[in-house]
Structure 1
């Protein structure tokens, strides 16, 4: 004779929104981890999570929980399955259900629950439980939640991370450089940057970071103002040389900006060979002007959306022709 599964009880509130009624409560994270599933019920719960979800994202959540860094106040949305044997007791103030795997289908919060399963620590988690939904209703609710909720733009997140003092060293440096390029009166990108949103015709923080981050190891020994001076001189010379040689490029285009920045190490190396470590605007121009002269418009146009391909075109054009 098998033992009957134990039951769990939690205080709840009944909430009505539109045509749906649901229960609002808090549950321990370990209970969520062992009673919820996110894939077909025939699969092992934890392995099922691993197959359909991003384990790295879930591990980041687990690490965040174990480090005690903050809170995760967003509610997990669940649909109770018949096997949960939900009962409402004490005049609707208490919810009882069987403590067993796969009792709740996760409609929203899969990565958080998977993170709870990976975490060593436990915490109390806000939960919403729907009861009696059909499979069609579960599917419609999943679609509604996952299509009508818009994520915060990456550009705004970077801006907010600065306000929250939540940046790593590289992000802090990139943020300072972006602000100087965005605000300095001598900046070649003045009036061309957008700090908190993605806008056509402007360089966002995300585009700027993608372009400049690969260069940080080259300039790690320099102060922020020195880095700005070198990079602004380079960008200024690129804009001038492209215009002089009649090459139609737009520095605010994400592919172009990133391709130009990927070319910087080769340009800086060529400049050193010719002029030593004198990173003046004029010296940069002396290097990039022949580069734009040799780079054909046809090849530049065929780079598509690949910064790497565009950089390869420029680096090839950077090489002086060898004759005897």
Structure 2
């Protein structure tokens, strides 16, 4: 069995894990995982978990040791609450690796990263300020939207300070997230000349919910928002957004929401309800369903973004 994408591999891994086929899952990850180096940290984590599940604690710890040696780390919640690692708690080598991970987690919280791609010449240029999903990171955001530099946009990808692992960051504390993002937005303006009339706030998954809140509340004066597979606790209950939606009315804000046809992690009916609430309350918003896509970035992002930019009026 061979896989072209990490999503395809992860889907089969999830199915086998649910069926308690732990040995088969480990063998599959050993055979296919190296094809996806951008997900090496997660693959190492899954391999270690499977090794522990089939009664190979020394092998599980060795896999973790190799991951830590490569610079990866897993946060306190993952270390202590992963069911597969319960049997490893208290082992001297496991505890040594845990201590290294905890220190790296503290350092990540202190210094949240942001990656920026943009034209070399002086601007001003339009800005696409894009947030990663929960459990993801800003490097994947760059990969997801990198075609933007082909049309002379600044692409800024801030990374949350709420760190769960070396490649997994979350936006769970929304108040802290918004404060951080306002500061990072300011940092972009200090480095690049930004066109204030063409600022787009964007986000994938929980980053989509966060970007929408940032746009509606208005600490950053954006022209519009682009959300890909937006998800989160309040996306599931669109009526909770009514105060923020009504507050944003009259600010000339427009939005575009993209959802994968086969995205089963996102409640499609609730997304449609959200789009209706936005339109009914004076914030024009378009919904586009991407054929064949699951909860992921489409391969041809520029095609969808150009339609989004035309609708918002920043093309």
**TM-score > 0.5, shorter chain as reference:** no
Task: Output the TM-score relative to the length of structure 2.
Answer: 0.25
Structure with bigger gyration radius: 1
Task: Output the TM-score relative to the length of structure 1.
Answer: 0.25
